[in-house]
Chains A and B, each alone.
Chain A
């Protein structure tokens, strides 16, 4: 069972106090009505689901009720760090990872 450091409360608390809200850093299209069915489906349902490093959105439900990000390993369950929503540093790192990967992305 995870021990999670809530970056808002600034305290380590047990997993029971938190709720996971799925993959983090998913960008909602700025103009949804302008998207194609495919683009909208990608945003809505398709996930990276990696084995390894993952950035996830969590809420401190029995606590401050704030959402924040956890960067952790989905295989070892090690938590690398937790950070607030306005921390953009991981967003930058993530974009880099993506640009290396999505060779066939446009086929979908």
Chain B
């Protein structure tokens, strides 16, 4: 029974003497004993097996034991007297001929479960299915739940006889796991239902549940999606949350963003190489947005990195990209630039991030900390160390909403305290917690991209009209620089990120809608792009959309058409993707 010995590539060898297959010596760490090794006499089996056991023990590092010291000499059960008889030689016969030719005789079954008969196998061979694999596949021989345990050799023998060749020449089909069928759930074990994949929660997860949040799956994370009031639909809740941020102040749990602590005297140089923009001159106390590309020049992550000290930075990544970015930094440092003195460690779980955003954000923050919040000294894109309600914090004045905005980072264990205080002090400003639904709308109003939604791995910084984030004169060729200068990446008519405004201000385009230039063209239509993000902007009172359109940056103002799946074709105009506060005044206030 050699099923198992074949699973990793062993091929059994036919023994004419034994009328059976024996294992080959493919695997040096495996041996067969007893009948599986062609040994049928009981006393020999016991003797041979004991020796095999001793040898295996030695080979696995137990060579120092003395076998006999463990044996009760009086009664060695491994050397028993067994009545044996001399077996006479077996005959290699498989298929008993019938008085009639096989095709005329009553059915002679080879594989019972699938009703494969000797006549069927002979017919298959006659039709030209001569390889044993062909026979197996044509007749279904050995396909049953017993995997041909009692049928395979007979089948091979019949094929061999028909083709006038030996069983060894005919060969076997390949045994695959499993030896006998295995219950699905036994294989999955406990990794089912809620344990199918790890669920990651921010330190504030229970607070979100208390506030009635619904959650969105982002990677393994559960992120608050929106916080509906009684009977509110998602659209209503998001509209309310959006307006609250634009007119008052909102609160977002941004703890899921990846955070990587980078230190070392070459940290700047390292950032220069992995980001497309320049980092040499970023002063301590300042933050900068960066784009990360692959060697092919395509954007794969973005985020803000702050300079904590001359040789110390903290990098943020997208929620879904955190693990990948961390690995990316490691591989480049270890394999290509081991000479750079730089160290990094992921601190995503160590810090909780609460973002307060909106025109009243500073008033709220002022109640929680004593540091100088004067916008002249704590400017947009600055960060400060601070004591926030007694908790040591880092406050980043950065904005993904376009409003005055502070990201308060606190050690994860203090997150709940700070959150509770924020809600308490926030009451007078009607502080409104908001989720990813609202965050998406607010950033789209500002034309900020979400990597993975507005990009798909085929978008360069230039396609995003973000050439400003690509340094032209860095001494070292940063990752992606060569890739984004390949012939195809320099074409003018690449798909580029633009905004779309529908003719009817209330019409929200479906995300994923395809864009054409000429309506009424026959199928297949010539598609020039698609909608990547699309929402109704409560603040602006009309719908907004981001899209990629071929040569879109040069087509501002042009009409495009979107044939929807309900049959309707919607007209829209290409515009700048920055819909709200294009001067960026509000975030600077």
Contact = CB atoms under 8 A, between A and B. Distances in A.
B9 interface: yes
B581 interface: no
Interface in B281-333: 295-296, 327, 330-331
A32 B481 contact: yes
Given A59-B330, A85-B338, A33 B8 contact: no
Contacts of A85: 334-335, 338
A37 interface: yes
A57 B330 CA distance: 13
A31 B335 contact: no
A35 interface: yes
B336 A28 contact: yes
B330 A67 contact: yes
Contacts of B485: 33
A106 B557 CA distance: 49
Q: Which of B8, B330, B331, B482 has the most CB of A within 10 A?
A: B482
A66 to B, nearest CB: 7
A33 B581 CA distance: 38
B487 interface: yes
Contacts of B411: none
Contacts of B295: 44
A66 B331 CA distance: 8
A11 B483 CA distance: 39
Contact of A67 (B296, B334, B481, B486): B334
Interface string A63-100: 00111000000001100000001100000000000000
Contacts of B477: 31-33
A30 to B, nearest CB: 9
Interface in A40-78: 40-41, 44, 57, 59, 61, 65-67, 76-77
Contacts of B338: 85-86
Range of interface residues on chain A? 20 to 34
Contacts of A65: 330
A9 interface: no
Contact of B487 (A37, A67, A76): A37
A44 B294 CA distance: 10
Given A32-B477, A32-B481, A76-B9, A40 B330 contact: no
A37 B327 CA distance: 27
A57 B332 CA distance: 12
A86 B9 CA distance: 34
Interface string B444-482: 000000000000000000000000000000000100011
A35 B338 CA distance: 23
B296 A44 contact: yes
Contact of A66 (B296, B334, B481, B486): B334
Contacts of B8: 77
Contacts of A21: 331
B334 A33 contact: no
A33 B481 contact: yes
Given A31-B477, A32-B477, A77-B8, A44 B334 contact: no
Contact of B482 (A32, A67, A86): A32
Contacts of A37: 486-487
A67 B483 contact: no
Contacts of A28: 336
Nearest to A66: B334
A83 to B, nearest CB: 13
B331 A67 contact: yes
B187 to A, nearest CB: 14
Interface string B324-361: 00010011001110100000000000000000000000
Contacts of A40: 482-483, 486
Given A44-B296, A76-B9, A35 B482 contact: yes
A28 B481 CA distance: 13
Nearest to A26: B335
B60 to A, nearest CB: 13
Interface in B158-195: none
Nearest to A22: B331
Nearest to B330: A65
Contact of B483 (A44, A59, A86): A44
Q: Which of A29, A32, A35 has the most CB of B within 10 A?
A: A32
A33 to B, nearest CB: 5
Nearest to B482: A32
A57 B486 CA distance: 27
A26 B487 CA distance: 23
A76 B8 CA distance: 8
Nearest to B9: A76
Q: Which of B9, B334, B483, B486 has the most CB of A within 10 A?
A: B334
Contact of B335 (A19, A57, A61, A77): A57
A37 B488 CA distance: 10
B331 A59 contact: yes
Nearest to B326: A65
Nearest to A24: B335
20 contacts: A28-B336, A31-B477, A32-B477, A32-B481, A33-B482, A33-B485, A40-B483, A44-B295, A44-B296, A57-B331, A59-B327, A59-B330, A61-B327, A67-B330, A67-B334, A77-B8, A85-B334, A85-B335, A85-B338, A86-B338
The 10 closest A-B pairs by CB, nearest first: A32-B482, A32-B477, A67-B334, A33-B477, A40-B482, A37-B486, A44-B295, A37-B487, A67-B335, A28-B336
Given A40-B483, A41-B486, A59-B330, 14 more contacts: A21-B331, A31-B477, A37-B486, A40-B486, A44-B483, A57-B331, A59-B327, A61-B327, A67-B330, A67-B334, A76-B9, A77-B8, A85-B335, A85-B338
